[in-house]
Structure 1
Amino acid sequence: MSQVEPDVICHSMLKQAVHDQGPRGEAGKIAEEEGIPFGSIDNNKIEQIQGLEKLVNLVWLDLSFNKISKIEGLSNNTKIVDLSLANNEIERIENLDGLTELQTLSLSNNNLTVINDVFYLRPIRFPALRSLVLKGNPVENDEENYPLMPLAILSEISFLDFKMVDSALREKGLEKYEIKCLETKDNEIKEIKMGEKAEQEAKEKQDRVNAFVNHVPQLFDLMYEEDVDGNIINQIPEIMEVVENFKESINKVCTTIVEEGLVRLKTRTAEIDDLIESRNAAIDNANTRAQHLVDEFLALQEANASSEDLSKKIDELDNELMEIEITLNEKIDETIKEFERYFSDMCASFLEYTSGQYTKIREIQALHNERMQEDSQVQLERFIKNDVPDDFSEEVRMRFVDKETVTNALASSHDAHMLAIDTSEDMLNAQVNSKRESFMKMIQDKELTRSRCRYKEIANLLDHFREEMYNLED
Structure 2
Amino acid sequence: MSLNWNTKVMRVIKLTLNKCRNKYFIYMGVICFADIQRIDSLQEYTSLVRLDLNNNLIKKIQGLDSLINLTWLNLSFNRIEKIQGLTSLQKLKVLNLSNNQITVIENMDTLDNLTHFFIGCNLLNQLENVLYLKRFKKLVHIYMKGNLFSNEDDYQFFIVAFFPNLTVLDNKLILQELASSKYQDDIEKRNQEESQKQLAEEVLQKQEEAFVEYLDGPHLFKSMFDEDTFSSDRRSVPGIEDLLQSYPLFRFSNTQIDHSLLNKREQRERELKSFSSSQDEVETHYKNQAIQVLEDFNRQHKEAREQELLCKMKKKVFFSKKEYGTTNQYFLLSSFRGLKNDFHHKVQEIIDATLENVAKGSQVENLPHDVKMLFTDKIKVMHALNTNHKLHLLTLNDREQKLLTSVSSWKIAFFKDVITQQNRTRISDIHRYADFLRKQLERFH
TM range (shorter): 0.5 to 0.7
| 1:229/1:412 contact within 8 Å kept | yes
2:386 maps to 414
Q: Please give the secondary structure, in 2, of the residue aligned with 1:85.
A: strand
AA partner of residue 105 (structure 1): H
Using CA pairs under 8 Å that are at least 6 residues apart, name the structure with larger relative contact order, 1 or 2.
Answer: 1
Q: Distance in 2 between matches of 1:370 and 1:160?
A: 66
What's the offset of the Cα at 1:83?
Answer: 0.3
After TM superposition, the score normalised by the length of structure 1 is: 0.58
Q: Which runs of 5+ in 1 are unaligned?
A: 1-36, 297-314, 468-474
Distance across 2 between alignment mates of 1:117 and 1:231: 39
Query: Please, which of 121, 125, 131 is the counterpart of residue 134 of structure 2?
Result: 125
Contact 2:127 2:155 in 1 (8 A): no
CA contact (8 A) 2:143 2:171 kept: no
Amino acid at match of 2:65: G
The alignment status of 1:156 with 2:165, answered yes or no, reads yes
Q: Is the 8 A contact 1:215 1:424 kept in 2?
A: no
Q: Report SS of the residue matched to 2:236.
A: coil
- Count of residue correspondences: 379
Identity of aligned residues (%): 13
User: 1:72-471 to 2 correspondence within 5 Å?
Assistant: 72-74=84-86, 80=91, 83-85=93-95, 94-95=105-106, 98=109, 102=113, 104-105=115-116, 107=118, 112=121, 125-126=134-135, 128-129=137-138, 131-132=140-141, 152-153=160-161, 154-158=163-167, 165=173, 170-171=174-175, 182-183=182-183, 185-216=184-215, 217-241=218-242, 243-244=243-244, 247-248=246-247, 251-252=250-251, 255=254, 257-259=256-258, 260-285=260-285, 293=291, 334-351=312-329, 353-354=331-332, 357-358=335-336, 360-361=338-339, 363-365=341-343, 367-381=345-359, 384=361, 387=363, 392-394=368-370, 396-401=371-376, 405-425=377-397, 427-428=399-400, 430-451=401-422
- Is the 8 Å Cα contact of residues 106 and 132 (structure 1) preserved in structure 2? yes
1:338 Cα shift? 2.5
Contact 2:115-2:139 at 8 Å conserved across structures:
yes
Larger fraction in helix: 1
Pair 1:51-2:52 in alignment: no
Higher CA-based Rg? 1
Displacement of 1:188: 3.4
8 Å contact 1:133–1:161 — kept in the other structure? yes
Distance 1:191 1:381, change over 3 A: same
1:50–1:349 distance in 2 versus 1, CA, 3 Å? same
Q: Structure 2 length normalisation: TM-score?
A: 0.61
Give distance in 1, aligned partners of 2:365 and 2:141: 69
**8 Å Cα contact 2:63/2:85 also seen in 1:** yes
C-alpha root-mean-square deviation of aligned residues, in Å?
5.5
Distance 1:194 1:411 in 2: 48
